[in-house]
Every structure is written in structure tokens, then in C-alpha cells.
């Protein structure tokens, strides 16, 4: 068992066991030896830009690695990129990101810290929260000094920038500054180790260059593999709609996990560090075990059991959930206009409601509503449960 008392080589092997890369080779073990000789813990940096309001499972791959450093007695420095978020990370992008309002960024930053503590230990000795607006709100003289550390040719070596430049797609000067701003974070917090996904490798290595220019020891870099979304193909991202947020309802988390393609199971079990079932377990049962493990981590064992029972009621027994919301709708001359009732009950547009009815995507007490049932007598809906899609239910009360 590797613990805080283990020698640096053992700690380095443990921490790097499931990483994509540890750079430079042997650097982590050497840095561990150095800080042990100095009698201090490592300062382990992770930067997160609060461009969305929720942390999803993809973020937790790196957060879980940070927790391993904490468990070995090292200090995590979580940087909320409230300043860099105003630029937007161009990594992997084919176009400039839209700019968020300051109030939205600030609200997302507060949510990020609360959610990060679902994984990290909130211990003053092992955890430090910083906002990069503390040091990036710099003078022009300081910005000029930072800009001198890197050439345009270096920045255009990045795959995403090179691709956009070759295709004639505009790259703003602000985007070119983003890697430098992230790199300067490492100078400001005196980072020993920086973590990130494999899509961040260029930015993390640039941090070493910038530290060297400022006369600071160069950080080591540990990159983690990218968790695919529930489509099993692309990187998990709210933008792509393939994410599972750690604050989502247990029932929603279970249902989404069950949609995961069979071929993505191995990487999810490995990267999320959920205990695998026996080798011969059928993929559907393995997904159930994966879903239970994920939900138990963020909501508890009882919530995981209840979410599985809820799933079975809906998709195995085809029964209505035990608790559903109610919506009050108004009848006109004893008739209900179904698109209007669905729009009120489920918060959708009337055009979307009409499309669902036309496609047979609406059920009333388990029976499909016919495509031409646009206006129905109120008795056909009053007190009954309407189902839209696979997981949305509402009881209609006619007033």
C-alpha cells in the first residue's frame, strides 16, 4: 500500500500508473525526492475555466488524480480561471469561443469550487483555492514581459492553431495569449506539478518554458486520458450534450450511463476508478454496476439503489414513477389543445410539442397518443400521467 511514508519512487509509480504521460521522463520521482529533502509537500496545480455551470464526470478524472496526491500528503492548488475564462481556452477548437458575461463566469466559479469538494479533501493543509484574476490583472509592462517569453512560431506549432491558420480561419491575438496566461499561472503559484487532460499538453509544457524564463524551477507535467461522453466517441462536453454532471439527479445519471456503448465500458471503468464486475459479466449488467458505482460516489449507496429501481420501473416494468410532477391546464369548451398542454407541463415550445405528437412520442397512462389527437376532450387527460420521450412524466389536472 502506497502512503505518505512511501519512498519517492513508489509514490511516482503509483501516481503515474494510469496517466497518459509523465513529462519529463523520471521528473516526477526526482521532484518528489527534492521536496522530501526540503521537508515540504509538492504543490500540485490544476486550472479550471468556469465556462459552464457544472463539473461533469470528465473533469473528475483529473480531480481524482489530485485527490491521490492529497492522500499522499501533497498540497493541491486549484486555480479557478475567472480571468482566462474571459478569453476562452482555444484547445481543440476550430473557431473562437463565445465570450461569457462576467456575472455568469463568477457564478460558475462558485459552483465549481463547491462541486470540486465532492472529490477533493477540503483540508487547509492539503488544499488551496486561487483565482487567476489575482495576478493576471497585470500592467502593460508586465504583459510585455510575459509576451517576450514565447514566439508566434511556437504558438502556431499547436495543432489547433496550425489547422486554423492553414485553413484561413481567424485566430485572435487574445487566443494566442491564452496559453501564456495559463503558463503564467504556474509562475504565480510556484507549481511543482501541473495536471490536465491530454488536450492540454501544449499549454502545460509551455508552463515549463515560462517558469524557466522567470527563473523558477520547471514544473513536471502529468496528463490524464480524456473520458469520452455517453456517446462513447467524443470528449465529454456540455457543448456536445454528452455529459453527466456530478450534481445531476441519480435517476438521470443512471439512465444516461445505461446509454453508454458497450465498447466504451472499459475506459469508463478505468478512468473513473469504479470497481469492475466479474470478467464474464454481460455488458448490460456491467453498465448497471458502473452506474451504481458512479451514483454511490456522488449521492450515496441508497441513492444508487433507488436510481436502479426507478430505471427498472420505467424501462423493464414500463411502469409510471412513484412520484411525478403535476401541471394545471385550462380547458376551452371541454377540450384540451394538446400542444399547449404539453408546452405548459414540460416547459417546451408548442412547435416541439406538435412534433412529438406527430411522431407518436407522447403517451397517456401508457397508451400512445395518436398523431391526429391535437385537440382532445378534457376527460382524456384529467388526472392522468402524460409521458414525453423515455424519462419525462407529468400528471395533468384540468382546471
Span 36-58, average pLDDT = 89
Q: What is the model's pLDDT at position 211?
A: 97
Q: What is the model's pLDDT at position 48?
A: 84
Sorted by where each starts, the structural domains of the chain and their CATH numbers stand as: 8-224 (3.40.50.620), 250-315 (no CATH), 325-398 (3.10.290.10)
Contact 66, 117 (CB under 8 A): no
CA gap 266, 36 in Å, rounded: 36
DSSP output for 143-158: HHHHHTTS-HHHHHTS
Q: What is the model's pLDDT at position 93?
A: 47
Give the ranges where the chain is alpha helix by DSSP (H). 8-15, 27-38, 57-71, 102-116, 133-136, 140-147, 152-156, 159-167, 173-188, 201-213, 250-257, 265-272, 283-299, 301-315, 338-346, 350-358
CA gap 345, 326 in Å, rounded: 8
Q: What is the model's pLDDT at position 319?
A: 65
pLDDT band, residue 367 (cuts 50/70/90): confident
Which residues face 364 on adjacent strands? 367, 386
Which residues face 56 on adjacent strands? 245
220 φ, ψ (degrees, to nearest 5): -90, 160
Contact 222, 12 (CB under 8 A): no
SS3 106: helix
pLDDT in tens, 188-239: 999 999 999 998 899 999 999 999 999 999 999 999 999 999 999 899 988 7
Angle between the 250-257 and 301-315 helix axes, to the nearest 10 degrees? 60
| Alpha-carbon 107 to chain mean position | 16
Angle between the 350-358 and 338-346 helix axes, to the nearest 10 degrees? 120
State the burial class of residue 333 (Cβ atoms within 10 Å of its Cβ: 0-12, 13-18, 19+): exposed
The residues near 106 (Cβ < 8 Å, ≥ 6 apart) are: 82
pLDDT in tens, 380-395: 888 888 888 777 888 8
Q: What is the model's pLDDT at position 55?
A: 87
Per DSSP bridges, beta strands 220-224 and 385-388 are unpaired
Percent of all residues in the chain with a pLDDT value above 70, rounded to a whole number: 94
pLDDT in tens, 80-114: 888 887 765 555 444 445 566 778 888 887 888 88
Amino acid at each position: 500500500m502506497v502512503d505518505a511514508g512511501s519512498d519517492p519512487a513508489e509514490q511516482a509509480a503509483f501516481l503515474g500508473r494510469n496517466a497518459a504521460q509523465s513529462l519529463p521522463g523520471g521528473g516526477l520521482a526526482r521532484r518528489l525526492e527534492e521536496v522530501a529533502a526540503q521537508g515540504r509537500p509538492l504543490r500540485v496545480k490544476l486550472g479550471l475555466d468556469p465556462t459552464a455551470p457544472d463539473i461533469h464526470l470528465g473533469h473528475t478524472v483529473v480531480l481524482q488524480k489530485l485527490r491521490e496526491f492529497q492522500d499522499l500528503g501533497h498540497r493541491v492548488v486549484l486555480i479557478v480561471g475567472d480571468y482566462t475564462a474571459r478569453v476562452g481556452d482555444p484547445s481543440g477548437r476550430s473557431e473562437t469561443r463565445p465570450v461569457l458575461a462576467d456575472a455568469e463566469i463568477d457564478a460558475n466559479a462558485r459552483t465549481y469550487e463547491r462541486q470540486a469538494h465532492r472529490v477533493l479533501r477540503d483540508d487547509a493543509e492539503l488544499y488551496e483555492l486561487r483565482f487567476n484574476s489575482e495576478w493576471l490583472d497585470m500592467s502593460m509592462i508586465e504583459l510585455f514581459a510575459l509576451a517576450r517569453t514565447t514566439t508566434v512560431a511556437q504558438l502556431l506549432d499547436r495543432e489547433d492553431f496550425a489547422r486554423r491558420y492553414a485553413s484561413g480561419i481567424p485566430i485572435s491575438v487574445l487566443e494566442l495569449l491564452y496559453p501564456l496566461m495559463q503558463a503564467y499561472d504556474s509562475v504565480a503559484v510556484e507549481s511543482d506539478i501541473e495536471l490536465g487532460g491530454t488536450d492540454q499538453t501544449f499549454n502545460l509544457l509551455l508552463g515549463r518554458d515560462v517558469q524557466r524564463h522567470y527563473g523558477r524551477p520547471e514544473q513536471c507535467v502529468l496528463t490524464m486520458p480524456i473520458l469520452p461522453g455517453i456517446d462513447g466517441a467524443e470528449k465529454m462536453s456540455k457543448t456536445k450534450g454528452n455529459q453527466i454532471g456530478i450534481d445531476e439527479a441519480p435517476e438521470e445519471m443512471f439512465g444516461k450511463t445505461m446509454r453508454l456503448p458497450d465498447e466504451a465500458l472499459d475506459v469508463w471503468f478505468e478512468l473513473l476508478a469504479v470497481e469492475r464486475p466479474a470478467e464474464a459479466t454481460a455488458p448490460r449488467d456491467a453498465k448497471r454496476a458502473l452506474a451504481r458505482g458512479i451514483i454511490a460516489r456522488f449521492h450515496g449507496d441508497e441513492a444508487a439503489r433507488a436510481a436502479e429501481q426507478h430505471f427498472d420501473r420505467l424501462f423493464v416494468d414500463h411502469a409510471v414513477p412513484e412520484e411525478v410532477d403535476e401541471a394545471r391546464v385550462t380547458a376551452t369548451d371541454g377540450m384540451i389543445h394538446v400542444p399547449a398542454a404539453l408546452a405548459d407541463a414540460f416547459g417546451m415550445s408548442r412547435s416541439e410539442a406538435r412534433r412529438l405528437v406527430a411522431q407518436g412520442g407522447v403517451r397517456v397512462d401508457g397508451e400512445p397518443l395518436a398523431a391526429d389527437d391535437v385537440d382532445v376532450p378534457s376527460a382524456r387527460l384529467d388526472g392522468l400521467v402524460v409521458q414525453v420521450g423515455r424519462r419525462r412524466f407529468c400528471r395533468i389536472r384540468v382546471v
